[in-house]
Amino acid sequence: MTVAKQSVSARPLSKQRLRLWLRLLRAARGIESELRERLRKDFAITMPQFDVMAALARKPDGMNMTELSRMLMVSNGNVTGIIDRLAVEKLVQRQAPATDRRSFIVRLTPKGASQFAVVAKAHENWVDELLAGFDAAEADHLIEMLGGLASSGRGETQS
Amino acid sequence: MTVAKQSVSARPLSKQRLRLWLRLLRAARGIESELRERLRKDFAITMPQFDVMAALARKPDGMNMTELSRMLMVSNGNVTGIIDRLAVEKLVQRQAPATDRRSFIVRLTPKGASQFAVVAKAHENWVDELLAGFDAAEADHLIEMLGGLASSGRGETQS
DNA sequence: CTTAAAAATTTTATATATGAAGTATTTTCC
DNA sequence: GGAAAATACTTCATATATAAAATTTTTAAG
């Protein structure tokens, strides 16, 4: 019947963390939905498609489906559909590596690369606008605080 | 042709904000996917369904579909499907208010309310665990920093 | 009161998303 | 070298999601 260590305002720590989680989720969803809407209206592209192109833009030599799904933290089957649709638009292409007939190397087409460059620039400007409330110091601070959370399992250290 | 004000390390501010956005998104998605998996495994419920029940738990008198969709920041049609599935499980019920035959009042059933209480407790513990890296001061700090972002348009000030 | 506009939902088409099952190909191991 | 395990993908069933169209009911205007 001993009361666990909880001094002063210690009791509601779990409530406070819950509030933090709700804030984090709300912030991310708000920004995400704004970005998604702009991508759709201005470039007729979805955010998952943009995310895939962004991942591929970092790897000129391409990646296979598994690497893509791990980097984007989405399921294997999900990537199949997104790549399928990007391939129809000739923005990405699948290439068979002679060594392993199970996998594909996916990469941006020239059309995909040049189109991505344009969209990425607009995207960066939008983010800059939506996060205008943060100066360099605050951004650094937040980035560091959020750093520990990201990888809840295997972590892709990208840059 | 004058160069805009950008001293010292000012140039990459937009890049820094982009990094912040990627961190924020990655953190939110990581936690979200962990919570979603636990909700599914332990309680056979989806996160959108949990979110709807959480919203309804705050309003014993119920809400109509439009209020729900605004509070959850999701589309109108989306809520229809989630409520449909919760109704099949007898966790929520639609009630016709005599005054306006266009709308419904949705509320938790007794079964839904008691089940939600159990799930919500587990959910709070999970969040407490996943955000264990933040003490009270850091949580407060982060909550405040994120506060300005949330509402990118109309804002629901809930609590 | 009747038509037009507004409001609340649902329906539809399309795109994600997940987990699980299925298929094809490589690797491992004896 | 041949069966068993591991890999790499795709397919399937189900549940979100959104935007746009359609439906029903209320409200507003004249």
Q: pLDDT (tens digit, 9 = 90+) per residue, B1-34?
A: 555 544 444 458 999 999 999 999 999 999 999 9
Q: How many Å apart are A110 CA and D23 C1'?
A: 47
With respect to residue B89, please indicate whether it lies within any of the assigned structural domains: yes
| Residues B28/A24, Cβ–Cβ less than 8 Å | yes
Taking alpha carbons only, the member of B40, B17, B123 closest to residue A22 is B123
Q: What token pair was written down for B32?
A: 């979200």
- Indicate the residue type of B138: E
With respect to residue A8, please indicate whether it lies within any of the assigned structural domains: no
- Average pLDDT value over all residues in chain A: 88
Residue spans of alpha helices (H) in A5-75: 13-43, 47-57, 65-72
- Rounded average pLDDT over A64-88: 96
Instruction: Choose between A85 and A3: higher pLDDT.
Output: A85
Q: How far apart are CA A152 and CA B35, in angstroms?
A: 11
With respect to residue A134, please indicate whether it lies within any of the assigned structural domains: yes
Give residue B12's pLDDT. Answer: 87
CA distances, A140 to each of A9, A158, B29, B97, B114 (Å): 28, 17, 20, 51, 43
Residues of chain A positioned with their CB less than 8 A from the CB of B149:
27, 30-31, 130-131, 133
CA distances, A50 to each of A18, A46, A85, B121, B144 (Å): 31, 6, 12, 37, 30
With respect to residue A16, please indicate whether it lies within any of the assigned structural domains: no
Domains in chain A: how many in total? 1
With respect to residue A21, please indicate whether it lies within any of the assigned structural domains: no
Percentages (nearest 5) of helix, strand, coil residues in chain B: 60, 5, 35
- Of A50-54, A145-149, B7-11, B134-138, the poorest mean pLDDT is in B7-11
| Residues B91/B53, Cβ–Cβ less than 8 Å | yes
Q: What token pair was written down for A101?
A: 């007939």
Q: Computed over its alpha carbons, how large is the radius of gyration of chain A? A: 20
Name the residues in A105-134 having a C-beta closer than 7 Å to nucleic acid strand C: none
- Rounded average pLDDT over B126-142: 93
With respect to residue B27, please indicate whether it lies within any of the assigned structural domains: no
Measure B56 CA to nearest chain A CA, in Å.
16
Residues of chain A positioned with their CB less than 8 A from the CB of B124:
14-15, 18
pLDDT band at residue B35, thresholds of 50, 70 and 90?
Answer: very high
- Rounded average pLDDT over B86-108: 94
Range of the domain at A91: 30-145
**What is the secondary structure of B4-26 as a DSSP string?**
PS--TT-TTHHHHHHHHHHHHHH
Three-class SS of residue A151? Answer: coil
Please report, in angstroms and rounded to a whole number, the separation of the first and last CA atoms in chain A.
Answer: 50
Q: What is the DSSP letter of A63?
A: B
With respect to residue B139, please indicate whether it lies within any of the assigned structural domains: no
With respect to residue B154, please indicate whether it lies within any of the assigned structural domains: no
Output the domain CATH number for residue A85. Answer: 1.10.10.10
